């Protein structure tokens, strides 16, 4: 075995920036007017400098350059910002993955050209909720909720409504409804998902139903294939099977293949003489405040969080 590793550094950002620029020139991707791909990449790199793996080692040293580049590329293609907690970088072994947050999924859906808005609500035991199916589509006839009914121990379901305009420019609604049994089944596929759900049940119910609605809606979208592809790649294990992931990763490898040079690892006894690099700052441990931060904290290497 060679004693060489591939280290990600600032120069590698140029590879990702060049790929983004090429996509823009070819008209394959368009960003919101107030979104700067360069700023997003710099923000992501700052986050990665303080991101550690399970063994408390910097992911910029333990994860492959290719996987880090893919994670950054997928982040920017979706127009997301790590600074706004729209996406999280989570290492699985020596591969870095980008996982969208609840807010990130909403942001991506709103980027689709025909989408007006996306919202989700939780249904409690004593709510008045009426739904019917018309022409093969779910329609919510009524949802009345009394403030006194709000009790996280009495959640019976959740729903998501995506408002959009059809080809005739008429307003339509795509609705996804899940009962608590379906939500619990989704959570049961992940040890971390179940753990986070106990602390943030309402938010996690909304997250799960939004992800399911988004999954079906984006597959019918006419938007950029790059955007849709990046959306699926950063959905974690919620929607993708192993075979699909392997195909995507192999396809992506062609994008960056040959762009990265191998860097020989400096031997410990010579490191003080041959390197002036400062040691990466250790991340300051803080208490998780949101479901997605908790998920990042609790991730299991073998079981990706929030399976759906």
First to last CA, the chain: 39
pLDDT in the model for residue 75: 93
Global pTM value: 0.66
pLDDT in the model for residue 288: 57
pLDDT tens, N- to C-terminus, the chain (308 residues): 333 345 666 677 888 899 999 998 888 888 888 889 989 998 998 899 899 998 999 999 899 988 999 999 999 999 999 888 899 898 988 999 898 888 889 998 988 888 999 999 999 999 999 999 999 899 999 999 999 889 999 999 999 999 999 889 999 999 999 999 999 988 887 655 556 677 789 988 998 999 899 888 887 776 667 888 888 877 754 433 333 344 334 434 444 444 444 433 333 333 333 344 445 555 445 555 555 555 445 443 333 344 34
Three-point CA angle 189, 229, 190, nearest 5°:
10
Give 88's strand partners.
99
For residues 114 and 166, give the distance between their C-alpha atoms in angstroms, rounded to a whole number.
7
Q: At a CB cut-off of 8 Å and minimum separation 6, what does 99 contact?
A: 87, 88, 89, 90, 234, 235, 236, 295, 296, 304, 305
Give 263's strand partners.
5
pLDDT in the model for residue 187: 85
């Amino acid at each position: 075995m060679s004693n060489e590793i591939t280290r990600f550094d600032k120069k590698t950002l140029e590879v990702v920036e060049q790929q983004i620029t090429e996509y823009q020139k070819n008209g394959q991707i368009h960003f919101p007017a107030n979104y700067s791909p360069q700023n997003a990449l710099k923000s992501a790199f700052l986050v990665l400098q303080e991101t550690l793996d399970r063994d408390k080692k910097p992911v910029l040293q333990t994860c492959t350059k290719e996987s880090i580049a893919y994670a950054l590329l997928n982040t920017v293609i979706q127009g997301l910002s790590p600074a706004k907690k729209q996406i999280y970088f989570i290492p699985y072994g020596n591969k870095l993955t980008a996982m969208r947050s609840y807010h990130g999924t909403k942001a991506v859906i709103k980027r689709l050209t025909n989408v007006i808005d996306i919202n989700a609500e939780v249904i409690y035991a004593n709510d008045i909720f009426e739904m019917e199916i018309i022409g093969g589509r779910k329609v919510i006839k009524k949802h009345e909720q009394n403030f006194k009914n709000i009790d996280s121990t009495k959640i019976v379901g959740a729903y998501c409504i995506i408002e959009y305009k059809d080809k005739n420019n008429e307003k339509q609604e795509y609705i996804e409804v899940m009962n608590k049994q379906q939500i619990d089944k989704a959570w049961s596929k992940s040890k971390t998902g179940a753990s986070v759900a106990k602390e943030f049940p309402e938010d996690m119910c909304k997250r799960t139903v939004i992800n399911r609605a988004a999954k079906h809606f984006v597959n019918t979208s006419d938007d950029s294939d790059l955007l849709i592809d990046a959306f699926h790649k950063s959905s974690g294990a919620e929607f993708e099977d192993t075979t699909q992931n392997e195909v995507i990763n192999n396809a992506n490898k062609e994008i960056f293949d040959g762009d990265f040079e191998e860097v020989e690892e400096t031997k410990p006894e010579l490191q003080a003489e041959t390197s002036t690099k400062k040691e990466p700052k250790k991340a300051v441990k803080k208490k998780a405040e949101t479901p997605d931060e908790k998920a990042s904290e609790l991730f299991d290497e073998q079981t990706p969080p929030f399976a759906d």
